[in-house]
Amino acid sequence: MSDHHHKETFVTKYIFSQDHKMIAKQYLITGIIMGCIGVFMSMLFRLQLAYPEQSFSIIEAFLGRAGEGGVMTPDMYLSLVTIHGTIMVFFVLTAALSGTFSNLLIPFQIGARDMASPFLNMLSYWLFFLASVIMIASLFIETGPANAGWTIYPPLSALPQAISGSGLGMTLWLISMAIFIASSLMGSLNYIVTVLNMRTIGMKMTRLPLTIWSFFVTAIIGVVSFPVLFAAALLLIMDRSFGTSFFLSDIYIAGEVLHYKGGSPVLFEHLFWFLGHPEVYIVILPAMGIVSEVMATNSRKPIFGYRAMIISIIAIAFLSTIVWGHHMFVTGMNPFLGSVFTFTTLLIAIPSAVKAFNWTTTIWKGNLQMNPAMLYSIGFVSTFITGGLTGLILGDSAIDINVHDTYFVVAHFHLVMGVSAIFGMFAGIYHWFPKMYGKMMNKDLGYLHFWITAIAAYGVFFPMHFVGLAGLPRRYYNNTAFPIFDDLLHINKVMTVFAIIGGLAQLIFLANFFFSIYKGKKAPKNPWHSNTLEWTTEVEHIHGNWAGELPTVYRWAYDYSKLDSNGELWGGQDYTVQTVPIREGEEEF
């Protein structure tokens, strides 16, 4: 892109920008707004769970007729959990996490001037924006937003007679998601092509930072699996609007037999989870990449087992596409398939374990710089272990039977992909904020934000396992209908208190983020003394990233604290940027 003569207007620079750095920021800001909405929804339904039938003026204020008298209706409760799930999984942890950091870091860290197709990149963001607007718009319609759960299993999601949100609300949900998938595909294709074709001289695949490896593999999984959800959504639209019977059969509802014959909801579940399971790795892999990078930099040590890390990313990606059936052990799927999926699912614990061991070895004998990004990375590993381990129960068909669809599952996936991925995202934001805005974020606020968030996250989701083991199903508006759950109310209150503390703590982050953009201290060129290429660019963004020639790369990204033959640090500093040629007597790792 050599458009030196092209004059940037406000519109081309800030709105319809084709610059990867600006698009990254657009993704991040949109993601933060969506994240606030999603988290706020969880505060509201946590209130309902801890204090059923009690009146809260905040509920009436925000939910209007669905919260009349300060108590939300069951349909509104289901809407909140549905849209909370949709927003957090797709709009925040998929689009905002991948969209922000893939866009920001891929050109920077491989030494490219921009994405392979800046126009497609811009289109990808604006489709994401459109999808967000439609999803938010669905909150304001008469019959309420979709409320069949974020997994939108038909027939509930197909029949307006079955639940109010399956009318216009579900239509908007499906349209929004279809656009979202188009956006995601454009982004992913762009990332793949850019990484494969636009690496600078010397940037071999085996010299790529792990961030790029994880974004690259994530994009591949996205391209493989998102179209399947698109197909499922399209077929569901056909069933809903044009009378086909892909997912529906033999239904009697509201006093009449419907004409549907021969379809199967189980087919939808297969299609949904063919995306749905890889989706959790689409969420967690970029976070893993970010954490690997941040941890190595702040431990002042190379990441341990670089090649093993790449192999495990690829292994996880491959396995992630053949484990979807573990969401369906009790759906009436053939029990033999249950055995197969148990096998593949538990295998995925092996590369995950390798990664966890490698992270802990990375900090061993390091010189850990405890900035907020590093704390979030350590927090990531902790929650990933805590949440990941219970996967051994849920992935094993026989013991999944009794905890399937209970709060045990909710606790598991919130820790392992929700909290962990959010921690990875925060690590990335604190680490690359200077690169995005040329300013430093306030560190004290960062510490405060981390400590409250970490305690609150454990406080909410650790006790939740026990609620699940007590047999409480998820998506229950309240549990007062069953006396056997009476004794869970006090645990629910504890969780809600932690949730509200954790939610309010995010205000600290918001304050820090937005004020640092304007009032933060000016960032130096390489604030974390890091090796990767993005820190060789100027603090002020320019189109094309490097003013002169593109940098040439001579080494991998992790030469931290490397010693020469005399036992001294090379060049007297504990980091060696990738653009430094291999020195005499030095061996390339």
Partner 1 sequence: MKALFYIIIFVVLIVACWQFVKLLGLTKVDNQTATEKENNINGWLLLGLMGFIYGLMIYTLFKGSVVLLPQLSASQEGEHVDILFKITMGLILVVQFVMQFILFTFSFKFRGVNNRKAFFFADSHKLETIWTVIPTLVLSGLIIYGIWTWNHVMDSSGAEDPLFIELYGKQFQWDARYAGADNQLGSANVRFIEGSNTMGVDMTDKNALDDIPLVVNEGKFVKELHIPKGRKVIFKIRSQDVLHSVYMPHFRSQMNAVPGMVTEISFTPSVTTAEMRENKDTKAKFDAINKLREEKGEEPVEFDYLILCNKICGSSHYNMQLKIVVDEEADFNKWLASQKTFAQLITK
Q: Considering only residues 89 through 128, tell me which ones interact with partner 1, judged by CB under 8 A.
A: none
- Residue among 124 and 382 whose Cβ is closer to partner 1: 382
One DSSP character per residue, 386-435 reads: HHHHTHHHHTSHHHHHHHTTBHHHHHHHIIIIIIHHHHHHHHHHHHHHHH
- Residue among 335 and 548 whose Cβ is closer to partner 1: 335
- Cis bond upstream, residue 473 (ω within 30): no
For residue 17, which of 96, 88, 103 has the smallest C-alpha distance? Answer: 103
- Least separation in angstroms between residue 467's CB and partner 1 is 8
- Residue among 116 and 315 whose Cβ is closer to partner 1: 315
- Which token pair is 297? 């930099």
Residues numbered 332 to 351 that lie near partner 1 (CB under 8 A) are 332, 335, 338-339, 342-343, 346-347, 349-350
Q: Which of 234, 398, 542, 582 touches partner 1 by CB under 8 A?
A: 398
In terms of residues, how long is the chain?
A: 589
- Least separation in angstroms between residue 99's CB and partner 1 is 24
CB 187 within 8 A of CB 99: yes
Q: Residues 22-61 vs partner 1: string with x where CB under 8 A?
A: -----------------------------------xx-xx
Q: Which of 98, 176, 406, 536 touches partner 1 by CB under 8 A?
A: 406
Residue 390 near partner 1 by CB under 8 A: yes
CA angle 352, 355, 360 (to 5 degrees): 130
Residue 310 near partner 1 by CB under 8 A: no
For residue 195, which of 165, 211, 216 has the smallest C-alpha distance? Answer: 216
Place of tokens 């609007």: 241
Residues numbered 534 to 563 that lie near partner 1 (CB under 8 A) are 558, 560-563
Q: Which of 234, 571, 573, 589 touches partner 1 by CB under 8 A?
A: 589
User: 81 vs 41, 149, 238, 241, CA distance in Å?
Assistant: 8, 7, 25, 25
Instruction: Give dist(CA 326, CA 389) in Å, integer.
Output: 15
Residue 275 near partner 1 by CB under 8 A: no
Instruction: Give dist(CA 168, CA 148) in Å, integer.
Output: 13
Residue 466 near partner 1 by CB under 8 A: yes
Residue 582 near partner 1 by CB under 8 A: no
Residues numbered 196 to 235 that lie near partner 1 (CB under 8 A) are none
Q: Which stretch binds partner 1 (CB under 8 A): 8-16, 133-141, 204-212, 253-261?
A: 253-261
Residues numbered 142 to 181 that lie near partner 1 (CB under 8 A) are 148-149, 153, 155-156, 159, 162-164
Cβ atoms within 10 A of the Cβ of 166, count?
25
Q: Residues 472-511 vs partner 1: string with x where CB under 8 A?
A: -x-xxxxx-xxxx-xxxx-x------------x--xx-xx
- Least separation in angstroms between residue 504's CB and partner 1 is 7
User: Three-state SS across 259-292?
Assistant: CCCCCCHHHHHHHHHHHHHHHHHHHHHHHHHHHH
Q: Which of 5, 204, 307, 522 touches partner 1 by CB under 8 A?
A: 307
Is beta strand 252-253 parallel, antiparallel or unpaired with respect to 256-257? Answer: antiparallel
Instruction: Give dist(CA 298, CA 370) in Å, integer.
Output: 7
Residue 583 near partner 1 by CB under 8 A: no
Residue 413 near partner 1 by CB under 8 A: no
- Least separation in angstroms between residue 15's CB and partner 1 is 24
- Residue among 184 and 297 whose Cβ is closer to partner 1: 297
Q: Which of 231, 368, 500, 539 touches partner 1 by CB under 8 A?
A: 368
Residue 586 near partner 1 by CB under 8 A: no
Binding residues for partner 1, how many (CB under 8 A)? 145
CA angle 461, 465, 469 (to 5 degrees): 160
- Residue among 211 and 512 whose Cβ is closer to partner 1: 512
Backbone angles phi, psi at 439, to 5 degrees: -125, 160
Q: Which of 458, 532, 543, 551 touches partner 1 by CB under 8 A?
A: 458
- Which token pair is 414? 């919130």
